[in-house]
Chains A and B, each alone.
Chain A
């Protein structure tokens, strides 16, 4: 198995968030998203600051299927961004 960087680092995630045009295509294509979340809120909470309950619920339910990647008109990886939220949530849970 080839050892490659599968996830994205925080600076790469930040770069992708800045490139996001907010078209909502990724959220429309997501089979794990059950409630309406604004893309602006998701982008804002992905990188830093407090993670709201709907965003945390969405991040926990994301199963990294990659359905959000293909519809993105600018070729961003929403799954990698959600993975960063997952890691942040895990660290905050571990930290108390």
Chain B
């Protein structure tokens, strides 16, 4: 009960902060629209026809998952802001489990990311309606829970990286190197096929790949496009994601707490 109290308290604070940050809300809505609108249209016109399926939908599912994953991951960096602003001291001197604090932080940033994803989801529905894809309502709604799972994985991945970063400045420099390659390794914008062996090997250790593939596995379930787009079965993706989440959460929290106390 105490841990649940802590998780909800920490998570709610992050959500509240987001809802009061108007520039951040606007920016988080505009950027994915621009990506889907311009990149999706452009790719659809150039290679979409050759692929034989609606490329805008393909890009939408990729960008939707990547946005949620990345948003939750980047949100975890705010722990560094808290530390710089000395607010984390208030949280970390409270008599609660460090794991509960970190789970609360991941949950909070996941809720923030989901709030950002609502606009994107509405945009996706318009794309589905405009396309001739045979996507049912339940498949569309399936994007909500699967998106949340992507957030949790992104948040835990951020936590895994965080203890190795000493400041916000270093985090801002390092995170693009961890995120940008995953756009390609996860096949966010383009299908992941016929890749060199080392790229395929790197793709296997890219957490975003499993999140994006799970989203597409749910979204295209039962359609003729499933076998052409989805890389692995949703069950396998889910199992890998659960394993990664546990690994990232436990090792990230242990290291973070140790680094904070053993300065």
Chain A bound to chain B: no
Which residues of A are in contact with B by a Cβ distance under 8 Å? none
